[in-house]
Amino acid sequence: MITLNKLTTGYAKNGVLKEISTELQLEIKKGSLVGILGSNGTGKSTLIKTLAGFQKPLFGSVQIQGKTVHEMSPKQRAKSISVVLTERQFNGDLIGRELIQLGRQPHTNWRGKQTSEDREIVSQILKQLNIEQLADQMLKTMSDGEVQKILLARALAQQTPIVFLDEPSSHLDLFNKSLLFQEIKKIVKKEMKTVFFSSHDLNTAIQISDQIILLLNNQWEYGSPDELIEKGVFQNIFPKETILFDPKKKQFNICV
């Protein structure tokens, strides 16, 4: 279980605190796919970085099974949390398999030597995500969408109970986006992982999410898609003359 205890995210600039998301109070059970939604600038990436322990909260805390994330050692966090951010920092001369193998580092010995079991786990994930053809391809020759799949494979190779994905489908076409989220849904249910993902694609997120954290200016909402629709939350996100939400079809439509 992940618990957010009056969590306020943000940053300090010139000695002044800038709050983004304020006093989030939530309990999220394992085996959930949680969409983090909101317009540009509402703090989706900041929230993911804070939940994952990369950025300290301004106030409150994040706990996993009663342990405060920001008090964990790097190795403890690496065994509990895997993360794919939009920022990409890696050597483009690596091949796909080598980058995925980096996900096994929290489980290797002090020399970082990988066993046959580690290599088998990587091979299984390549097959699971249907990206075996990328195993021996250099990253700098891959498309953005292919790199995105390799980064997801690296996160899965860590075998953590919690996964954070920042805009995981941003470089994928509709077909590959569908395949990606189908696989993520299978992983969540089969392995009882808790997966958080941020997205600008509200329609897709409403279809696939078990729970949604919706970040709005100066407030937030949390619940299942149906609960948020019943509350009328989606109907009031955008000006009605630009975008309307259809609660029966569970989708947003552009007014043209």
pLDDT at 187: 92
Per residue in 136-157, pLDDT tens? 999 999 998 899 899 999 999 9
Number of structural domains in the chain: 2
Q: Which two tokens stand for residue 55?
A: 């950025």
d(Cα 54, Cα 70) in Å, to the nearest integer? Answer: 8
Q: Which two tokens stand for residue 197?
A: 């993902």
In a shared domain, residues 218 and 254 = no
Whole-number Cα distances in Å, 231 to 42, 222, 224, 249: 20, 11, 11, 16
Per residue in 176-202, pLDDT tens? 889 889 999 999 999 999 999 999 889
CATH code for the domain in which residue 178 is found: 3.40.50.300
Per residue in 81-138, pLDDT tens? 999 988 777 888 899 999 999 999 888 765 667 888 999 999 999 999 999 999 999 9
Per residue in 1-54, pLDDT tens? 899 999 999 988 887 888 999 999 999 999 999 999 988 888 899 999 999 999
In a shared domain, residues 135 and 251 = no
pLDDT at 45: 92
Alpha-carbon Rg for the chain, nearest whole angstrom, is: 19
What's the average model confidence in pLDDT over 68-90? 90
d(Cα 3, Cα 88) in Å, to the nearest integer? Answer: 28
In a shared domain, residues 234 and 217 = no
In a shared domain, residues 7 and 108 = yes
What confidence tier does 238 reach under pLDDT thresholds 50, 70, 90? confident
In a shared domain, residues 57 and 172 = yes
pLDDT at 109: 65
Higher pLDDT, 205 or 90: 205
The owner of tokens 């050597």 is 91
Domain, as residue range, for 246: 224-256
Q: What residues contact 64, with CB distance under 8 A and at least 6 apart?
A: 1, 2, 3, 80, 81, 162
Whole-number Cα distances in Å, 192 to 9, 79, 112: 27, 16, 28
